Amino acid sequence: MRCMVVSVPLLIALLLFPQSAHQSQPAYEPIHRIDSQRKVVALTFDDGPDPKYTPLILETLHKNGVPATFFVLGAQVDRYPKVMQWIKKAGHEIGNHGYHHVDLNKLTEQEIYDEIKRAERSIYRTTGILSQYYRPPGGVMTHDVVNAVQSSGYDLIHWSVDPRDWSLERTASTIANSVKKNVTAGDIVLFHDGGLNQRQTLAALQDLITDLRARGYTFVTVSQLMDESK
């Protein structure tokens, strides 16, 4: 039998300072934005696919040659598989937003994990794509959310610019101006293609794309944005 010899000073250190025996793991933090030397920005869309507004948003993005990342709900994917396939065919990135848009504060770690994996199966079944990124509904971050996301193998993606386009009180100009005033290089912008107020989001999108392009911004997917930090 082989024995490991531990010196007396080291033994004392291990007993008195157990944390020094190994490095603590870094906290698992969501990605809000990245530091970039280039003027890049990622547009993201949550809660789709929607049968009415997602195709219209896809048309605007295509007309302007803008890539985006769509964080989709598994239930919507199952309900509107053709719209989901349009997102893929248009070349946009697909992220996981869970199966239902539920309050994660009310779920257990296992239930959150199941939501993620059920959405994963829906996305893969419809598009053949295994998503790399997960965005929790409402941006909820709890111990259970972090554990479930780590267990499921996803990177957590939040946002750094939120024009609150889901609010019925927000007009297209309010939405666009909110982004224009706050956006910086490396930001992730939160929009929605599913929900209640996407008519205003759609109207704001063309104005915003035109304005940011004139200011020298390039539009990228979340993956492309992450590559900027390497």
pLDDT digits (tens, 9 = 90+) for 119-140: 999 999 999 999 999 999 999 9
pLDDT of residue 13: 42
Q: Which residue has the tokens 């959150």?
A: 112
Residue 86 is assigned to a structural domain of this protein = yes
Write out the catalytic residue numbers.
46, 192
Main-chain phi, psi angles of 49, to 5 degrees? -75, 145
Q: What is the mean pLDDT of the chain?
A: 90
Residue 92 is assigned to a structural domain of this protein = yes
Residue 163 is assigned to a structural domain of this protein = yes
pLDDT of residue 27: 54
Residue 60 is assigned to a structural domain of this protein = yes
Per-residue pLDDT of the chain (230 residues; tens, 9 = 90+): 333 444 444 444 434 443 333 333 345 789 999 999 999 999 999 999 999 999 999 999 999 999 999 999 999 999 999 999 999 999 999 999 999 999 999 999 999 999 999 999 999 999 999 999 999 999 999 999 999 999 999 999 999 999 999 999 999 999 999 999 999 999 999 999 998 889 999 999 999 999 999 999 999 999 999 998 77
Q: Read off the pTM.
A: 0.88
pLDDT of residue 48: 98
pLDDT of residue 229: 78
pLDDT of residue 29: 86
Residue 19 is assigned to a structural domain of this protein = no
Extract the tokens encoding 20. 């020094």
pLDDT of residue 88: 98
DSSP one-letter string for 131-198: --EE--GGG---HHHHHHHHHHTPEEB--SB---TT-TT--HHHHHHHHHHH--TTEEEEEESSSS-H
CATH code (residue 92): 3.20.20.370
Tally the domains of the chain. 1
- Is the distance from CB of 30 to CB of 160 less than 8 angstroms? no
Q: Which residue has the tokens 């019925």?
A: 168
Domain span including residue 205: 28-228
- Is the distance from CB of 83 to CB of 59 less than 8 angstroms? no
Residue 139 is assigned to a structural domain of this protein = yes
Residue 2 is assigned to a structural domain of this protein = no
Residue 144 is assigned to a structural domain of this protein = yes
pLDDT of residue 208: 97
Span 148-191, pLDDT tens digits: 999 999 999 999 999 999 999 999 999 999 999 999 999 999 99
